[in-house]
Amino acid sequence: MKLTRRSFIQLSAATTWLLAAGCSTGPVKPASAALIPRKSNGGSPAKGEWIASTCQGCTQWCAIQIYVQDGRGVRVRGNPLSKTNHGYCCPRGHLITQQVYDPDRIKVPMKRTNPQKGRGVDPKFVPISWDEALDTVAEKMMELRRANETHKLLYMRGRYSSTSTELLYGTLPKVFGTGNYFSHSALCAEAEKMGPGLTQGFFGYRDYDLPKTQCLVLWGTDPLASNRMVPNTIHYFHEILARGSVIAVDPRLSNVAAKAHEWLPIKPGADGALACAIAHVLLTEGLWNKEFVGDFKSFWGGFKAGQTVGEDEFVEKETFGLIKWWNLELKDRTPAWAEKETLIPAEQIVRVAKMMGKAAPKTAVWMGPGAAMTPRGTYSAMAVHALNGILGSIDVEGGVWQSSSAPVTAFPKADAYVDDLAKTASKGKKLDGRGAKDMPAMMNAQPGSGVVTNNVANGLLKDPGAVKVFLSSWSNFNFSATGALRWDAVMAKVPFFVHMVTNASEMTQFADIVLPATFNAAEGWSVVSNMGNGHGYVSIQQGAVKRLWDVKQEESEVMWLLAEKLKQKGFSNLFDYYSKEFKDPETGKTATSALEFAIITTKISSSAIWKPKEPLKGDAPIKSWDDFRAKGMFSGPKYSLKKGWGGKFATATKKFEFYSETAKKGLLAHAKKYETTVDDILTVSGYVARGDLAFVPHYEPPKRNGSVSEYPFDFIDYKSRLNREGRSANTAWYQEFKKVDPGDVSWDDVLKMHPSDGAKLGLKSGDRVKITSPAGSIVTRLKLWEGVRPGTVTKCYGQGHWAYGRVAAKDYGKAPRGGNNNEILVDDYDRLSGATARNGGFTGVRVEKVAA
Ligand SMILES: Nc1nc2c(c(=O)[nH]1)N[C@H]1C(S)=C(S)[C@@H](COP(=O)(O)OP(=O)(O)OC[C@H]3O[C@@H](n4cnc5c(=O)[nH]c(N)nc54)[C@H](O)[C@@H]3O)O[C@H]1N2
Ligand SMILES: Nc1nc2c(c(=O)[nH]1)N[C@H]1C(S)=C(S)[C@@H](COP(=O)(O)OP(=O)(O)OC[C@H]3O[C@@H](n4cnc5c(=O)[nH]c(N)nc54)[C@H](O)[C@@H]3O)O[C@H]1N2
Ligand code: SF4
Ligand SMILES: [Mo]
C-alpha cells in the first residue's frame, strides 16, 4: 500500500469502478425491459442503463433508478417496481445528479494545518493520503486505549444509510469501548413518536391509507413538499381532494394548505387546544366511532360540555380511559374556549370536527413535527394522534396504520470481540444527559432511553475535557442544530475532530482530519428499508455510478481500513470481527479489501430477500443476488388491518389508551429513581400538567423563549421542498428553483411577514432586515406575504450556509447567503422525549430594518 497520492487516486478511482462493476459479484445488470412499465428515455441518444439505487434525500428512502451512461449518472426516477412511489421520485430525487457531481465535493483526504479553530478561521487544509489520514486517526484512538480512557472517544452520526451504519454506529463504539455515541434522531422528529407511542404503544412513524381515505387531516406537516411519502402523497392527493375533504392545520400557507378545503392557520404551539376542542365536538356531537371506542350503556347517556360522566356509564371496546380523559380535560375544551387559544374561529372548529366525524373511520389524521417538535410537544402529539382513536381510524381501511416491514438479515454478533476495557468504558455516564431528573427522554416509555442529540454540545461546554477524539459522519450540527452558535464554541475546543462527509460544510471547518465520503445514493453500498402505502420494502444502494474522486464510504470501507490500522497498532478486535465474521452469503468467503467488505455487508443484509429460509410473502421471489441487484428492491405484502385490535396494542393495558397507563408507568419509574413525585418531574422538565392530567392528552400552553414585549413575533420554521435535509443548498437547481416554496424567491432567503405588520413597522418587501431572538441574530431580506398571520413571521430552513460550497455560501468560509434559522432558534427541548424543539413558535423574534 505504499503509493504516491497521485497514483493512489488514479488506482483507486479505476479499481473502485472495476470492483463495483465486476468484483466477485458479477456485473450490474440493468433492470429488464419487462420490469419497466414506463418508456425509458435516456438523458441523450447515447447508450445507458437504469441501475437501481435508493435516494436518501429525505427519510422516505425511495427506491430509485439512476440512468447511467459510461459510468456517469445522468437521470433519476423512482424504481418502477415501487409500490410506495409508483415509479416517480419527488423533485429532490432529481437533485442527485447535481449533488454527486458537485465540483465543491471533497476529493481527497485532508488535514488541518492551522491549529486555531473558529468560525471564519481558515483551517488551511492540505491534501494527504488515506494511509496517512487513517494512521493519524488510529494513533489518536490508540492513545485513548493505552490511557484506559476509551470513553473519551465520541462518535455522532447525522444521516446514515440503514444497514451499513451498524458497522460504525453499532460496532465501533461497542468494540472500541465508549458509551458516547449519539444519533441525530433527537434533532429529527422523535417527539412525534410520543403521540402514537403513549396512546397506542407504537413509537414509530405511521402509514396512511391514502387510496381509501375520505378525509385527510394534515397537521403540522406539508407532505406534498416534505415529511415522509411525498411521491405517494403527490400521487393520491388530487383524488382525495376530488372525492373527499382535505384539512390543513399549519400557521403558514403550506403547499397542502394552499390546496386544502379548510386551512386552519393556528396560533403557533396551540395544537393541543385545537385537538382537544375537536375531540370535544366529536364526543358532544356523538361522532365517535362506536366500533372502536364503544358506547354508553344507556340510550340516555351522552357528553355535555362542562359535565362529568360516570366511568361506569360507558363501555369501551378497543380503547381505555375515554371517560377519564373527558372528565380530566375534554369536558371544558369547548370550541369557544379553543378560539381564544388557537385564534381559529369556533365555527370553523365545529365545521372541521363534523367533517372529520362524518368521514370516520376513513379519516386519517397525519400528525407531523409541527405539532410535536415543540417544548411541550409530547402532549400535543398525543392529543392530535388520539383523534384517530376517537374516529376509529386506527388500523382500518382509509385510516392510519402502523408501519410495515420487509426482512433484512442482521449482521453477526460482535460480543466475542468486546474486551473488558471496552465493556467497562461503555458503561459510563453519557454526555447527552439523558435520564437526568429534568430530561426523562422516555422513548418507548423507558426513561433515559432516548437520545438527546443537541444536549451533547451542552455536555461538552460544561466538561470540555470529556472528549479527546470526536468522529462524526454525514452531519453538520454547526448548521443543523438549534442554538447553532453553541456548536461553534464547542467544536473550537475539541482537541481532535474527524469529519466524514462529502462537502466541507460548517462543521468541517473545525476538523483536524477530513475523510471524503461517498455520496451514498449514487456511490455507496447498503441496504435500506422503509415502508409506505401499505408495504414494507428493502432497496439497494450499489455504487451505481463511477466515483470521480478518491472517496470512501465511511460506514463500511473506512471502518475496514481503520480497523486494519488499529490492528497494526496493537488493537485487533475490530478487524478480527470484520474479517472473520462477515462472510459472503454466496461464496462463504471473507473480505480481502475495504470495498469487498462493503459489498459483502450489503449481500448479508439483503440475503433475507434473495436467499430466504422460507418463501416470502409479497413481490415475486427474487432468485439471486444478481436478480436483487437488477430489480433493486423487494416489497412485502399489503398491510393487514386491525393489527392492534382485540387487545393487541403494545400498551400497558393492551388497549388504545386515552388515559395512558403506559406514560404513567414510565413517569412513575423516573420519579422513583429521583425519589420524588411525577408532579415534581413535570415541573423541572417544564410542563404545566399536575396530577392525573399528566397521563392524558391535554393542552399545554405554548412555551415561548423571549418576552412578547422584547420579541413580538412568533417565528415559524419549515422545510424547503428542495432541501435534501441539510444537503442540497450547494446545487444550482436548488437555488434556481427555490421559488417553488410558497412565498419564496430564487437565489435568496426571505423572511415572510404579514403586510399589516409590515405597514405597522414601516417595512416593505425587499428591505434588508435583522431578525433577533434571545439566541442571536441573522440578517436577510423581507417579503410581505399574506400566507402568515399577523404576529407571526416565517422563514424556510436551508439557506444561510457560510460554508458548504461556492453556491450555498455567498463567500465560502465567510459570508452566508441569507441566514441560518438555527442561529436564532433557541436550544430547547421536549424533555419527555429528549427531542429538540424547532416548531410551535417557541422562539420569539423582533425584526428591524438594516442598511441595504
Ligand atoms: N431549523 C431547522 N433545523 C433542522 C431541521 C429543520 O427543519 N429546521 N431539520 C432537522 C432534521 S429533521 C434533521 S434529520 C437534521 C439533519 O441534520 P444533520 O444530521 O446534521 O445532517 P445534514 O445537515 O443533512 O448533513 C449534512 C452533511 O452531510 C454531508 N453529506 C451529504 N451527503 C452525504 C453522503 O452521502 N454521505 C456522507 N457521509 N456525507 C454526506 C454533507 O457534507 C453535509 O455537510 O437537521 C435538523 N435541523
Ligand atoms: N423536502 C424535504 N422533505 C423532507 C426532509 C427535507 O429535508 N426536505 N427531511 C425529512 C426528515 S429528516 C424529516 S424528520 C421529516 C420532517 O417532517 P416535516 O413534516 O417536514 O417536519 P418540519 O420540517 O418540522 O415541518 C413542520 C411543519 O409544521 C408547521 N408548523 C410549525 N409550527 C407549527 C405549529 O405550531 N403548529 C402546527 N400545526 N404546524 C406548525 C410548519 O409550517 C411546517 O409545515 O421530513 C422529511 N422530509
Ligand atoms: S427526496 Fe425523499 S421523497 Fe424525494 S425521491 Fe428522495 S427519498 Fe423519495
Ligand atoms: Mo429528520
Choices 1.20.1260.10, 3.40.50.720, 1.10.8.50, 2.40.40.20: CATH for 713-849: 2.40.40.20
Give the residue from 112, 143, 106, 149 showing the smallest Cα distance to 9: 106
Ligand 3 pocket, residues with Cβ under 6 angstroms: 55, 57-58, 60-62, 89-90, 92-93, 230-231, 724
The CATH code for residues 193-403+645-660 is 3.40.228.10
Instruction: Give the pairing of strands 792-797 and 319-320.
Output: unpaired
476-528 pLDDT per residue, tens:
999 999 999 999 999 999 999 999 999 999 999 999 999 999 999 999 999 99
Give the residue from 703, 696, 653, 700 showing the smallest Cα distance to 330: 696
Distance 737 CA to ligand 2 centre (A): 19
Distance 245 CA to ligand 2 centre (A): 22
Closest C-alpha to ligand 2, atom 8: 723
- Report in angstroms the alpha-carbon separations of 833 from 36, 373, 379, 676, 718: 44, 10, 11, 20, 21
pLDDT at residue 5 above 80? no
Distance 368 CA to ligand 2 centre (A): 7
Q: For residue 363, what is the DSSP state? A: E
CB 637 within 8 A of CB 60: no
> 594-610 vs 557-568: helix axis angle to the nearest 10?
130
Distance 291 CA to ligand 4 centre (A): 36
User: What percentage of the chain has pLDDT greater than the value 70?
Assistant: 95
For residue 60, give the ligand nearest its CA. Answer: 3
Distance 249 CA to ligand 2 centre (A): 12
pLDDT at residue 345 above 50? yes
> 271-284 vs 377-390: helix axis angle to the nearest 10?
20
281-300 pLDDT per residue, tens:
999 999 999 999 999 999 88
Distance 78 CA to ligand 3 centre (A): 9
Confidence of residue 620 (pLDDT cuts 50, 70, 90): very high
What is the C-alpha separation between 398 and 73, in angstroms, rounded? Answer: 39
The three-state secondary structure class of 448 is coil
H or E segment to which residue 233 belongs: helix 230-243
Every domain of the chain with CATH number 2.40.40.20 lies at 713-849
What pLDDT is recorded for position 852? 80
- Nearest atom of ligand 3 to the alpha carbon of 724: 1
Show the cell assigned to 383.
Answer: 392529543
CB 845 within 8 A of CB 773: yes
**Mean local confidence (pLDDT), 329-357:** 98
**Mean local confidence (pLDDT), 593-608:** 98
Class of domain 48-101+519-551+584-631 (CATH, top level) = mainly beta
41-51 pLDDT per residue, tens:
555 566 899 99
Amino acid at 513: I
The beta strands (E) that lie in 721-767 are given as: 750-753
Show the cell assigned to 788.
Answer: 402568515
Determine whether the shortest distance from the Cβ of 266 to ligand 2 is under 6 A.
yes
Phi, psi of 645 (to 5 degrees): -65, 160
Best residue among 250, 727, 744, 842 to mutate for probing ligand 2's pocket (most ligand atoms within 8 Å of CB) is 250
For residue 827, give the ligand nearest its CA. Answer: 1
- Report in angstroms the alpha-carbon separations of 296 from 286, 293, 301: 11, 10, 6
Distance 184 CA to ligand 4 centre (A): 8
- Nearest atom of ligand 3 to the alpha carbon of 228: 3
Question: In the block, which residue shows the cell 405517494?
Answer: 232
Ligand 1 pocket, residues with Cβ under 6 angstroms: 158-159, 184, 187-189, 473-477, 480, 500-503, 505, 517, 519-520, 554, 717, 719, 725-727, 797, 821-822, 825, 838
For residue 775, give the ligand nearest its CA. Answer: 1
CB 609 within 8 A of CB 629: no
Identify the bridge partners of residue 750 per DSSP, sorted by sequence position: 781
What pLDDT is recorded for position 162? 87
Determine whether the shortest distance from the Cβ of 225 to ligand 2 is under 6 A.
yes
Phi, psi of 68 (to 5 degrees): -115, 125
428-460 pLDDT per residue, tens:
899 999 999 999 999 999 999 999 999 999 999
Closest C-alpha to ligand 2, atom 15: 227
The pTM assigned to this predicted structure is: 0.95
Closest C-alpha to ligand 1, atom 23: 726
pLDDT at residue 804 above 60? yes
pLDDT at residue 699 above 80? yes
What pLDDT is recorded for position 4? 46
Phi, psi of 714 (to 5 degrees): -80, 135
203-231 pLDDT per residue, tens:
999 999 999 999 999 999 999 999 999 99
Every domain of the chain with CATH number 2.20.25.90 lies at 48-101+519-551+584-631
Mean pLDDT of the chain: 94
Amino acid at 500: M
Distance 227 CA to ligand 2 centre (A): 6
CB 475 within 8 A of CB 158: yes
Phi, psi of 334 (to 5 degrees): -75, 160
What pLDDT is recorded for position 127? 98
Closest C-alpha to ligand 2, atom 40: 370
What pLDDT is recorded for position 34? 42
Residue count of the chain, please give it.
852
